[in-house]
Structure 1
Amino acid sequence: MLDDTSGIKSPSKRLLIKVTRDTLPLVKDKYPFLYLERGRLEIDDASVKWIDSDANVIRLPIATLNCLLLGPGTSVTHEAVKVIAAANCSVCWVGEDSLLFYAHGQTPTSDTRNLREQMKLSADPKKSLEVARRMFSMRFPSADLKGKSLKEMMGMEGYRIRNLYEQKGLEYGVGWKGRNYIPGKFEMGDMTNQVLTACNAALYGILCSAIHSMGFSPHMGFVHSGSPLPFVYDLADLYKENLCIDLAFSLTLSMAGQYNKHMVSAAFRQRVIAANLLGKVAQDIESILEIKNASRDCQ
């Protein structure tokens, strides 16, 4: 990510640090994913090596990884994919710092324990409702949700979000006329809506990559349905208040009517890092689904 003021790369502002020999996971450790950008994956003596843009060569411990996240400027050879698949390591193609999710390559021998548990919970109406109730309880910690239907809890959430938008508008002195997003017409929204849309998309990208790397499916949700990525949207609602909504209102006046994608991206990254989102997602999924060691079972 380029620093907005100097044009120089600022590693401290990056969501995912540069891969070096010192930052590689040890063989004794189990690591959910590794993010790579601007380089090439090749094979050398039956092992996968990463050649970065500075011609540094790093051998990757593929057998200890759940997933490789390939960012901008990456290429991979056919032989490398074969070895990666044989090591049961999946591959995701993502945007810079995994802020956008494009595609996922599933290995034929990948572990499906977490996916099976997710399917069982999603297919059982009673268990699915309990999972949804645990999600809502994270947003309504003092409310008694026992016996409430999904429709009732969604109504509570809709009311909370509408009030939250109004509160943030008053707090930051920003006029708010409601959420307005037209697919494919980003520029049609007002400044706050544009920032909201951009931050939501970035959050979805991070969550989609995390869900895949843990061996779950983004397509089986418990609150949302009838959408492409319901489980992603389920989880996103847990983090939007601080990462997206508050940020959108706080940046609206700062940009003075001129949308600045670099400012939005940098501010969003800072909040994601401060919230330790990548670590929190694994813990929250484990708690919500009540799957012990969900973040490690798929290793």
Structure 2
Amino acid sequence: MTKGERLFVKVTRESLPRVKDKYPFLYLERGRLEIDDSSVKWIDADANVVPIPVATINCLLLGPGTSVTHEAIKVATAANCSVSWVGEDSLLFYAAGFLPTSDTRNLKRQMALASDDDKALEVARAMYTRRFPDADLKGMTLPAMMGMEGNRVRALYQQKAEHYGVGWKGRQFTPGKFEFSDLTNQILTATNAALYGILCSTVHAMGYSPHIGFIHSGSPLPFVYDLADLYKEPLCIDLAFFLSREMAGRYDKHKVSDEFRKRVINMKLLDQASNDINELMGVSRARRARQ
């Protein structure tokens, strides 16, 4: 190879799989992510080398003990694979890398909706309609709908606790002190963080911003939190109470990760989230087909 010649084949927008066609996420810990010839590779603590097909993965979740080279990040982002830094087994969501997008059409659309109070309220109302399909939300204010949602979630927690025969004293989480929570809260914290990572990567990959929300505010990723509430019931809440019964009081990180991943794949979260985001943002069906 002559000096200055690159090993990497240029990745084009047309050559990449769509967000909804990708594998949702891959969690890595205690190892190194770097480049091997023309691909990304993972070297674990036992010196095992595993090729990582970043073009077919939506998000890499990097846990404790990981290091990554500059070139590996460049290749991953060129393939539209987001990189998120998380706590052990995705227990906490720390940060996400930004993916370059081909244009800013979607971001402009999102900003236009969020900056217009009436339009922003309509987007929020559309999100709540999915959780209250039989309620008449027309004319309701955002605080009123948030109050309804709070009551719904508290009732849902109690319903799931009774259904699975699990004790429940309420949602509790102390940052940095994961082990102080009871088993159900530990699972909720872990699965919520993993869900945030996946949705953050999806939002970035589609050219939207996680920082411009319609319900949540004053937090780092309000749009991600808005979206996560659409999927938490089957992916996080039901799973937490189900696994609390199955694990009989002892947290099993491998079982939590495996069961969460199965549910993400079975419900086709990436496909669902992609369609939901575009619909909420008012992207036409014709344009969606070209994305």
> What is the TM-score with the length of structure 2 in the denominator?
0.76
Q: Do the aligned partners of residues 26 and 129 (structure 1) sit closer, same or farther apart at CA in structure 2, a change above 3 Å counting?
A: closer
Q: Is the contact between residue 42 and residue 76 of structure 1 (CA under 8 Å) also seen in structure 2? A: no
**CA offsets, 1:99-143, max 9 Å, x none?**
667431444x74111001000001100000000000000001111
Work out whether 1:257 is the aligned partner of 2:249.
yes
Question: What residue number does 1:104 align with?
Answer: 97
Choose from 239, 245, 250 the match for 1:247: 239
Aligned length: 260
Choose from 173, 180, 183 the match for 1:181: 173
Q: How does 1:25-44 map to 2 (within 5 A)?
A: 27=14, 31-32=18-19, 40-41=34-35
Give the letter aligned to residue 114 of structure 1. Answer: N
Aligned-partner Cα distance in 2 for 1:266–1:216: 29
Q: Do the aligned partners of residues 28 and 191 (structure 1) sit closer, same or farther apart at CA in structure 2, a change above 3 Å counting?
A: closer
Question: What residue number does 1:207 align with?
Answer: 199
Give the letter aligned to residue 39 of structure 2. Answer: W
Choose from 258, 263, 275 the match for 1:266: 258
Of 284-293 and 160-169, the range deviating more from structure 2: 284-293
Question: What residue number does 1:115 align with?
Answer: 107
Structure 1 runs not aligned, ≥5 long: 1-23, 44-48
Aligned-partner Cα distance in 2 for 1:55–1:233: 33
Work out whether 1:94 is the aligned partner of 2:84.
yes
Choose from 259, 267, 289 the match for 1:275: 267
Question: What residue number does 1:191 align with?
Answer: 183
Structure 2 runs not aligned, ≥5 long: 1-10, 43-48
Choose from 36, 39, 64 the match for 1:50: 39
Identity in percent: 49
**1:292 CA displacement:** 2.1
**1:91 CA displacement:** 5.5
> What is the TM-score with the length of structure 1 in the denominator?
0.74
Q: Do the aligned partners of residues 260 and 40 (structure 1) sit closer, same or farther apart at CA in structure 2, a change above 3 Å counting?
A: same
Aligned-partner Cα distance in 2 for 1:296–1:265: 33
Give the letter aligned to residue 92 of structure 1. Answer: S
Question: What residue number does 1:230 align with?
Answer: 222
Give the letter aligned to residue 128 of structure 1. Answer: A
Q: Is the contact between residue 220 and residue 230 of structure 1 (CA under 8 Å) also seen in structure 2? A: yes
**1:187 CA displacement:** 1.0
Give the letter aligned to residue 103 of structure 1. Answer: A
Q: Is the contact between residue 50 and residue 57 of structure 1 (CA under 8 Å) also seen in structure 2? A: yes
**1:290 CA displacement:** 1.3
Aligned-partner Cα distance in 1 for 2:203–2:132: 24
Look up the SS of the partner of 1:253 in the other structure: helix
Q: Is the contact between residue 39 and residue 50 of structure 1 (CA under 8 Å) also seen in structure 2? A: no
**1:239 CA displacement:** 0.5
Q: Do the aligned partners of residues 292 and 76 (structure 1) sit closer, same or farther apart at CA in structure 2, a change above 3 Å counting?
A: farther
| Root mean square deviation, CA, Å | 3.5
Q: Is the contact between residue 91 and residue 105 of structure 1 (CA under 8 Å) also seen in structure 2? A: no
Question: What residue number does 1:217 align with?
Answer: 209
Aligned-partner Cα distance in 1 for 2:179–2:226: 26
Question: What residue number does 2:117 align with?
Answer: 125
**1:286 CA displacement:** 1.3
